[in-house]
Amino acid sequence: MSNLIQTGDNADITKERRNATFDIHDMSLFLYGSEEILKRRKEMLAFVKSKPEFNDPIPTEFMNREQRVDNGARKIVAMTDNTDEIDAGDFFGEGMYFQGLIMGRDLHPMSLHYVMFLPTIQGQSDDEQLDEWLPLTISRSFVGTYAQTELGHGTNLSKLETTATYDPKTGEFVLHSPSITAAKWWPGGLGKSANVAIVVANLYTQGECKGPHPFFVQLRDYDTHEPLKGITVGDIGPKLGFNTSDNGFLLFNNFRIPRRNMLMKYAKVLPDGTYIKPQHAKLAFGTMVFVTEQLGEGNTELLPEIHALTSGLKSVVSYEVALGIEQCRMACGGHGYSQASAFPEIYAYAVAGCTYEGENIVMLLQVARFLMKAAEEVVNGKAKLADICAYLAKRGANKSRLRTADEYGGDVIIEDLEHVARNQVFRAYDSLKRKEKEMSSEEAWNKTAIELCKASRWHVRLYLAKNFLHKISTAKGAIREPLENLARLYAFDIITSSHGEFLRGGFMSEAQLDELKGGFYTLLERLRRNAVAIVDSWDFDDKELHSVLGKRDGNVYSSLLDWAQQSQLNRTQVLPTFNKYLGPMMKEGRSKL
Ligand SMILES: Cc1cc2nc3c(=O)[nH]c(=O)nc-3n(C[C@H](O)[C@H](O)[C@H](O)COP(=O)(O)OP(=O)(O)OC[C@H]3O[C@@H](n4cnc5c(N)ncnc54)[C@H](O)[C@@H]3O)c2cc1C
């Protein structure tokens, strides 16, 4: 059932693999979607393993910051040199896997070039600009980043301080940072690597502020890499993770750029300073949360639903993933705390997603804006709801139809989650409306924020559970049962860990909840024998996972000892610090006895 068993493997892990009730290839096929994708994974893996230039001289966790930045720059050049040969240029598709195999869980000096700079050039430039900048971006003629956040302003875009003031006499914008808090802060690759950036600045023309807009800005000399006059730029120092990335700061001192360096697909400034506004205000910021080709085509009808869903998924998924990683780390005891396990790096990598490209609580509050509007429409009998939130207008049952845990599945689970999500949305709505009678709408919103965030979380969890259960229902053969067990475990966990919401108003009885708790333990037992096989089905090679604890062969103890030998501290038996500090201290201690 498992093609991963090899001679010399740890006996316990072999036993686990033999115990599985399904073939892991079938499960991998279900998870990844096609034989072609699995085949491509194997091809890319073999390609990466065949190229010595992708190897690290020592494990990256033993490198200091400068070595990591250097190693990351070396590997990203090697990677992009080789991308065409293996045809892995689709950065948001299989290119992600290719990059992960080479870069591990580190970002690199060109992360923002591909993840933000390129999509912004593609999505926000007019045709003429695209012709000029896209070939240069793709050919790596410069390295770009995306500079929006400021030292004093992240989420609060309306308070950005960097200004781009149009001067019709010269046909230029003047970029300026009027204070310390206006310094751009965080952009990946900005510190030492990037020589161009998309800078988001408040546009002033004809004496009026038109709000934040993106500008293409050269920061450093293309040959010497020295910062241009009027630009102060540098690295912001070490972070929780991503230390291969030189996240940076940037200040402008009346720095001039041509008018046509404003990205003009949507908004425009004409030579005389006349401002042409975009069709839809949010179009100017498509890149920070990746919204669909439809924006590019000017189809904004679905924008609120898509925006609410992407914001909500981003927030709930990144948060739950981070919690899950931490839970797994702790389950490994002391070894989980060691970098050898890879958990510290996996956690640092994943948890950053709770903050960048839309801070999580702020994202939930955006979902809540959409939900409150939908709730208002339902209350006023004018609701035209998309599928995603049609449950808000449904008249659900007053009691859960749950009878036994074994029968509890699919539609009944969804009905119950819909009930709780709907109740929470309308509870938040009622509370908001009550407060709005006593205070300003902004204050009312802030004072209802916790209930609003809860409503958004339930909305997203419902969406996730619905899709999880639906997807599982398409599985065939021996993989169906473990998948159903997993999906139901997910739903049972949501319900039992928030049981108060389900007891409210007698929707569920205590006996029903006890039945579910019992069912939860039964599911855990049923899944136990397939636990290793389920993980194996994700098709992680040791090269990709880069974890001593997660090694395929399960021989973790000898590998931990081997790994530790690579510590720089083990290069000599006696460190100079011993002779400088500890040696004299102990000698003095002995002499006093
Ligand atoms: C690893 C990493 C990489 C990054 N890369 C880039 C990059 O390449 N380019 C770039 O421009 N930026 C980048 N950023 C910056 C990132 O986008 C910001 O950190 C993010 O937008 C949050 O802004 P902030 O840090 O100012 O926090 P804030 O927005 O000030 O948030 C601080 C706290 O205030 C709360 N809060 C904020 N607003 C509200 C509100 N309206 N209501 C209730 N609570 C609120 C938040 O929930 C949070 O708890 C990066 C950040 C990280 C961590």
Mean local confidence (pLDDT), 139-152: 97
What is the per-residue pLDDT for 284?
54
At 297, the pLDDT band (50, 70, 90 cuts) reads: low
What residues act catalytically?
357
pLDDT at 194 exceeding the cut of 50:
yes
Of ligand 1's listed atoms, the one at least distance from the Cα of 152 is 26
Of ligand 1's listed atoms, the one at least distance from the Cα of 358 is 21
What is the per-residue pLDDT for 91?
74
User: Do 194 and 219 meet the contact criterion of CB atoms below 8 Å apart?
Assistant: yes
- Indicate whether 532 and 383 sit together in one domain: yes
- Indicate whether 502 and 575 sit together in one domain: no
What is the distance between the alpha carbons of residues 181 and 249, in angstroms, rounded to a whole number? 11
| Residue 102 in domain | no
- Indicate whether 592 and 514 sit together in one domain: no
* Average pLDDT across the chain, whole number: 94
- Indicate whether 520 and 571 sit together in one domain: no
Kindly give, in sequence order, each residue whose CB lies less than 8 Å from that of residue 113, ignoring residues fewer than 6 positions away: 137, 143, 144, 145, 189, 194
Whether residue 152 is annotated as binding a ligand: the answer is no
Q: How far is the CA of 198 from the centre of ligand 1 (A)?
A: 18
Domain termination residue (choose one: 217, 251, 279): 279
| Residue 589 in domain | yes
Least confident among 10-19, 299-308, 539-548: 299-308
Domain termination residue (choose one: 263, 279, 295): 279
Gyration radius of the chain's alpha carbons? 27
| Residue 352 in domain | no
Least confident among 195-199, 297-301, 304-308, 487-491: 297-301
What is the per-residue pLDDT for 157?
87
Of ligand 1's listed atoms, the one at least distance from the Cα of 147 is 11
Which of helix, strand or coil describes residue 191?
coil
Number of separate domains in the chain:
3
Mean local confidence (pLDDT), 166-188: 98
User: Do 183 and 249 meet the contact criterion of CB atoms below 8 Å apart?
Assistant: yes
What is the per-residue pLDDT for 283?
55
At 302, the pLDDT band (50, 70, 90 cuts) reads: low
- Indicate whether 419 and 470 sit together in one domain: yes
Whether residue 234 is annotated as binding a ligand: the answer is no
At 106, the pLDDT band (50, 70, 90 cuts) reads: confident
Ligand 1 and 154: CB distance under 6 A: yes
Ligand 1 and 493: CB distance under 6 A: no
Which of helix, strand or coil describes residue 221?
coil
Ligand 1 and 269: CB distance under 6 A: no
* Tokens encoding 338: 């060691």
What is the per-residue pLDDT for 290?
46
Ligand 1 and 187: CB distance under 6 A: yes
Q: How far is the CA of 314 from the centre of ligand 1 (A)?
A: 14
Range of the domain at 567: 555-593
Q: How far is the CA of 210 from the centre of ligand 1 (A)?
A: 23
Q: How far is the CA of 181 from the centre of ligand 1 (A)?
A: 14
At 6, the pLDDT band (50, 70, 90 cuts) reads: very high
User: Do 410 and 474 meet the contact criterion of CB atoms below 8 Å apart?
Assistant: no
At 288, the pLDDT band (50, 70, 90 cuts) reads: very low
What is the per-residue pLDDT for 388?
86
- Indicate whether 406 and 500 sit together in one domain: yes
CA distances from 378 to 36, 390, 578 (A): 46, 10, 73
pLDDT at 285 exceeding the cut of 70:
no
Region of residue 409 (left: phi > 0; alpha: psi -120 to 50; beta: else):
beta
Q: Tell me: the pLDDT tens digits for 322-339? A: 999 999 999 999 999 999
Q: What is the residue with the minimal CA distance to atom 51 of ligand 1? A: 356
- Indicate whether 392 and 517 sit together in one domain: yes
pLDDT at 412 exceeding the cut of 50:
yes
Q: What is the residue with the minimal CA distance to atom 9 of ligand 1? A: 187
Helix 510-528 vs helix 480-497: crossing angle, to nearest 10: 140
| Residue 240 in domain | yes
- Indicate whether 450 and 571 sit together in one domain: no
Rounded to 5 degrees, what angle do the CA atoms 387, 392, 395 make?
110
| Phi, psi of 316, rounded to the nearest 5 degrees | -70, -45
Mean local confidence (pLDDT), 560-577: 93
Q: Tell me: the pLDDT tens digits for 217-264? A: 999 999 999 999 999 999 999 999 999 999 999 999 999 999 999 999
Of ligand 1's listed atoms, the one at least distance from the Cα of 360 is 47
Domain termination residue (choose one: 254, 279, 304): 279
From the list 321, 312, 454, 495, the residue with the least C-alpha distance to 388 is 312
User: Do 542 and 59 meet the contact criterion of CB atoms below 8 Å apart?
Assistant: no
Per DSSP, what are the bridge partners of residue 257?
173
Q: How far is the CA of 195 from the centre of ligand 1 (A)?
A: 24
Q: Tell me: the pLDDT tens digits for 477-491? A: 999 999 999 999 999
| Residue 149 in domain | yes
What is the distance between the alpha carbons of residues 523 and 303, in angstroms, rounded to a whole number? 39
User: Do 422 and 397 meet the contact criterion of CB atoms below 8 Å apart?
Assistant: no
Q: What is the residue with the minimal CA distance to atom 2 of ligand 1? A: 356
Ligand 1 and 356: CB distance under 6 A: yes
Q: Tell me: the pLDDT tens digits for 49-64? A: 999 999 999 999 999 9
- Indicate whether 248 and 163 sit together in one domain: yes
| Residue 103 in domain | no
Q: How far is the CA of 355 from the centre of ligand 1 (A)?
A: 5
- Tell me which of 108, 149, 161 to substitute to probe ligand 1's pocket, judged by most ligand atoms within 8 Å of the beta carbon: 149
Ligand 1 and 112: CB distance under 6 A: yes
| Residue 546 in domain | no
Q: Tell me: the pLDDT tens digits for 418-440? A: 999 999 999 999 999 999 999 99
ipTM above 0.90, yes or no: yes
- Indicate whether 434 and 582 sit together in one domain: no
